[in-house]
Amino acid sequence: MLYLVGLGLADETDITVKGLEVVKRAERVYLEAYTSILHVGKEKLESFYGRPVIVADREMVESSSDEILSGADKSDIAFLVVGDPFGATTHTDIVLRAKELAVPTKSIPNASILNAVGATGLQLYNFGQTVSMVFFTDNWRPASFYDRLRENASIGLHTLLLLDIKVKEQSLENMARGRKIYEPPRYMTVSQCAQQMLEIEAEKGEKVYDEDSLAIGCARVGADDQKFACGTLKELSGIELGPPLHSVVLLGKRAHELERDYIRLFAINEQTFDASWKKYHERQ
């Protein structure tokens, strides 16, 4: 059996009892290490599980899945995923590959940012499509996220933006020369996301949002030191929320008064919060 085991969001203790039982009896244990990160290293996991853990990078998961699946028709293999096993589309690919090889699979769910974002006080059923924000470069500024924001905004729903991480990435030069030299890890921050959102709105000019739109910056959700900051996009573009991982929620206009009262607890500035709420969210 190939087991896809969700690890939760923060550290080694977030794994479920069911997931831990799988890990302890598995023949091999892999840790998917590029779609997200825990706040502890591989060594902490190995100490807590009492088992060696093999780090599986993007290349291994996407190009060498047969190595992971080898022997999974005869013994148990555990594939560990930060958050929930199906929080990233990559993991449906490995399940489909297992099916092709007649390897049975089972998933062990866990918390992910998709439900843990409820800690902001926003009601989960008021969220629309989740979107990703990638790092801009000098000649690449993808704006497909803007269309999803527009669609969510058109029916008044909140939008969760998942922020880019770059782990074990090669520069174009090193890739072209075939050199296995990797760039240092990078993790997008709330401020970088807000800046990029405002840049694209300035280009589009469709007023899906503006610098006075309310949003919530989220940092290390699920960890003991999780942090939220609610303010305008202009305010968030200059905020520092500490180490990764970060995400952002853009408020929809259907926000309820109970949501307002809760997120106001995280207000960067209560006066600008009240003014922005009145401008965009107060029912006439």
Residue 276 assigned to a binding site: no
Helix (H) or strand (E) holding 227: strand 227-232
Residue 246 assigned to a binding site: yes
Start-to-end Cα distance in the chain: 57
Residue 47 assigned to a binding site: no
- 281 touches 251 (CB < 8 A): yes
Residues 6+ apart with CB under 8 A from 59: 168
Residue 108 assigned to a binding site: no
Least Cα distance to 149 among 186, 185, 184, 196 occurs for: 196
Question: CA 283 → CA 72, 241, 254, 278, distances in Å?
Answer: 57, 32, 9, 9
Residue 45 assigned to a binding site: no
Question: CA 159 → CA 153, 192, 208, 266, distances in Å?
Answer: 8, 17, 12, 18
Residue 112 assigned to a binding site: yes
- 239 touches 266 (CB < 8 A): no
Residue 122 assigned to a binding site: no
Residue 9 assigned to a binding site: yes
The annotation places the binding site for S-adenosyl-L-methionine at: 9, 84, 87, 112-113, 163, 221, 246
The annotation places the binding site at: 9, 84, 87, 112-113, 163, 221, 246
